[in-house]
Amino acid sequence: MGKIRVVIADDHAVVRQGTRSLLEREDDIEVVGEARDGEEAVRLIQQLKPDVAIVDVSMPKLNGVEVTKLVKPTCPSTSILILSAYDNDEYVFALLEAGAAGYLLKDVDSREVVDAVRRVRAGESVLHPIVARKVVSRLVAPGKSDVKASADLSDREIEVLKLAARGLSNKEIADRLVISVRTVQGHLASIFNKLGVGSRTEAVFLAVKKGWLSLEELPET
């Protein structure tokens, strides 16, 4: 695989420059564009079709929610990673429903940002612990899960989705089920297709929202 192509969208030049400097230290990541506002972010993402777009929530002209809603239908293969100072419920849930693959707060360690870029590119979910707690507390529905009846997933796909909901990485899921990482990726791709989503975060979010996963199957955050 080639380098992970990244677009950074933030209205603060210092943040953009700092994020670019951080990412370009890595041999497998390349920053292909920077946007200063939401309209420029949409234009760049649609033009460059990066693997990952790091998007701030609060930007001039279009905010992060609007950017995500506009680019996901036209650039479904681009994973949107939100890097924001805000953890307001309205932002968190609107962005996840719009198709964001990850949501980190700007207080995270720099290595977590680099790791998050790689993880969302691989189709994994990346949620700041505060955001994960919001998802669990707001959306989880009590009762027995019934994913198969609702989404026509195979038994193995259900297993993979449950482990993904607990926050396990692809490798951890592979080790737990004694299968290869490539097989895990194949199951996730099938799950995404059946659920009509583009990332692990969206799949888990949808399953939790619809009550297909019970509280016992999620992390004890």
- CA–CA separation, 28 vs 158, rounded Å? 32
- CA–CA separation, 40 vs 100, rounded Å? 18
Q: Beta partners for 82? A: 55, 103
pLDDT of 94 reads 84
Query: Tens digit of pLDDT per residue, the chain (221 long)?
Result: 689 999 999 999 999 999 999 999 999 999 999 999 999 999 999 999 999 999 999 999 999 999 999 999 899 889 999 988 887 777 888 888 888 888 888 888 888 899 999 988 887 778 776 776 666 555 544 444 444 445 577 888 888 888 887 777 788 889 999 999 889 888 888 888 888 776 777 777 777 766 666 555 554 44
Q: Which domains does the chain have, with CATH numbers?
A: 4-135 (3.40.50.2300), 140-217 (1.10.10.10)
pLDDT of 145 reads 47
pLDDT of 138 reads 57
The 3-class SS string of the chain reads CCCEEEEEECCCHHHHHHHHHHHCCCCCEEEEEEECCHHHHHHHHHHHCCCEEEECCCCCCCCHHHHHHHHHHHCCCCEEEEEECCCCHHHHHHHHHHCCCEEEECCCCHHHHHHHHHHHHCCCCEECHHHHHHHHHHHCCCCCCCHHHHHCCCHHHHHHHHHHHCCCCHHHHHHHHCCCHHHHHHHHHHHHHHHCCCCHHHHHHHHHHCCCCCHHHCCCC
| Beta carbons of 117 and 23 less than 8 angstroms apart | yes
